[in-house]
């Protein structure tokens, strides 16, 4: 079993963590170190258990807390090579471990995999963290479009934290200048609710137990709108798990992630 902590998500900061066997990994650190410490305490995540900080890309809403936190916790930072080139000068001597398409990282009970995403950053990735019991958590945001590589990485996972950034109609009527709208909706930008629903329906499999919709735009989306688009699409393909929406300003309660069949087996015993 893994425990998933969603400490917050949105354009003003993203941070999740996974924990298994007393070991935790932060997935993005897009709030200040102090804010991540505060939210961890609220959510019941013991940062002393964190053994690494994995970053999807260098944008501030995903990486701004990493330098100080990596120093304070004395842990390595896992990124794609190009992301580290951008971040290294400001990382104050933190250790780097590369993660990428051909570079899997084994750390405690975890195997961490990554694949490139289509986004306007140096070398952005989506992340998948698996444990030996078959449980897996995937995190993918800032996806201009879901490439074949992303679809492949996110297959067969038990939990998915996936961007549902904007409602397409709300984006068109948002008052954002057309150039900004095109950037958000473009192939280097962000996934709409509809695109997230389509991707989740495609990725659905019987052991998918948890879906967390993340990185919602505050101006062009709401939790209710994201759920109204994604919920029915998941139900149509037979999803019977838990559907959550990440909030920008507060952590979710910790989510226990287990392969459904095994949870029932444990209960039956």
Candidates 71-79, 135-143, 179-187, 259-267: pick the segment binding Zn ion (CB under 5 A): 135-143
* Binding map of Zn ion across residues 141-170, x = CB under 5 A, - = no contact: -x----------------------------
Q: Are the CB atoms for 1 and 136 separated by under 8 Å?
A: no
For residue 265 the two structure tokens come to: 């087996």
Question: Does 123 sit near Zn ion (CB under 5 A)?
Answer: no
Query: Which CB sits closer to Zn ion, 90 or 134?
Result: 90
Query: Which CB sits closer to Zn ion, 39 or 59?
Result: 59
For residue 25 the two structure tokens come to: 């990994």
State in angstroms the smallest separation of the CB of 104 from Zn ion: 23
How many whole angstroms separate alpha carbon 26 and alpha carbon 46?
11
Question: Nearest to Zn ion by Cβ — which residue?
Answer: 59
Query: Which CB sits closer to Zn ion, 30 or 100?
Result: 30
Chosen residue from 19, 61, 167, 225 binding Zn ion by CB under 5 A: 61
State in angstroms the smallest separation of the CB of 11 from Zn ion: 6
How many whole angstroms separate alpha carbon 193 and alpha carbon 195?
6
State in angstroms the smallest separation of the CB of 231 from Zn ion: 23
State in angstroms the smallest separation of the CB of 54 from Zn ion: 15
Question: Does 59 sit near Zn ion (CB under 5 A)?
Answer: yes
Query: Which CB sits closer to Zn ion, 3 or 59?
Result: 59
Question: Does 28 sit near Zn ion (CB under 5 A)?
Answer: no
Sign of the dihedral defined by the CA atoms of residues 139, 240, 192, 11, in that order: negative
Q: How far is CA 246 from the centre of its chain?
A: 10
State in angstroms the smallest separation of the CB of 81 from Zn ion: 17
**62-85 burial: b if 16+ Cβ within 10 Å, else e:** bbbbbbbbbeebebbbbbbebbbe
Got the DSSP string for 49-64?
GEEEEE-S-SSHHHHT
- Site size toward Zn ion, by CB under 5 A: 3
- Three-state DSSP at 3 gives strand
Q: Are the CB atoms for 122 and 163 separated by under 8 Å?
A: no
Query: Which CB sits closer to Zn ion, 109 or 138?
Result: 138
What is the residue whose two structure tokens read 């501030």? 60
Question: Does 190 sit near Zn ion (CB under 5 A)?
Answer: no
How many whole angstroms separate alpha carbon 44 and alpha carbon 117?
31
State in angstroms the smallest separation of the CB of 248 from Zn ion: 11
Question: Does 204 sit near Zn ion (CB under 5 A)?
Answer: no
Query: Which CB sits closer to Zn ion, 19 or 61?
Result: 61
Q: Are the CB atoms for 51 and 22 separated by under 8 Å?
A: no
Can you give the binding site for Zn ion, defined by CB under 5 A? Answer: 59, 61, 142
């Amino acid at each position: 079993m893994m425990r998933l902590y969603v400490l917050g998500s949105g354009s003003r900061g993203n941070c999740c963590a996974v924990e298994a066997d007393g070991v935790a990994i932060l997935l993005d650190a897009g709030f200040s170190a102090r804010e991540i410490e505060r939210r961890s305490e609220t959510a019941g995540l013991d940062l002393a258990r964190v053994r690494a900080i994995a970053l999807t890309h260098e944008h501030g809403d995903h990486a701004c807390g990493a330098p100080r936190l990596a120093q304070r916790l004395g842990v390595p930072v896992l990124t794609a090579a190009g992301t580290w080139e951008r971040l290294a000068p400001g990382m104050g001597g933190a250790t780097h471990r590369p993660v990428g398409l051909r570079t899997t990282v084994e750390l405690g009970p975890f195997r961490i995999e990554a694949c490139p995403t289509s986004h306007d950053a140096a070398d952005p990735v989506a992340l998948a963290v698996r444990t030996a019991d078959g449980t897996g958590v995937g995190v993918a945001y800032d996806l201009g479009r879901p490439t074949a590589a992303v679809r492949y990485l996110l297959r067969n996972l038990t939990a998915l934290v996936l961007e549902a950034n904007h409602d397409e109609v709300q984006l068109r009527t948002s008052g954002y200048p057309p150039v900004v709208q095109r950037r958000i909706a473009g192939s280097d930008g962000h996934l709409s609710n509809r695109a997230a629903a389509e991707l989740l329906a495609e990725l659905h499999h019987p052991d998918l137990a948890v879906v967390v919709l993340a990185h919602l735009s505050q101006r062009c989306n709401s939790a209710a709108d994201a759920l109204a688009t994604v919920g029915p699409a998941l139900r149509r393909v037979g999803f019977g798990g838990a559907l959550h929406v990440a909030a920008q300003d507060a952590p979710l309660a910790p989510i226990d992630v287990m392969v459904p069949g095994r949870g029932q087996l444990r209960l039956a015993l």
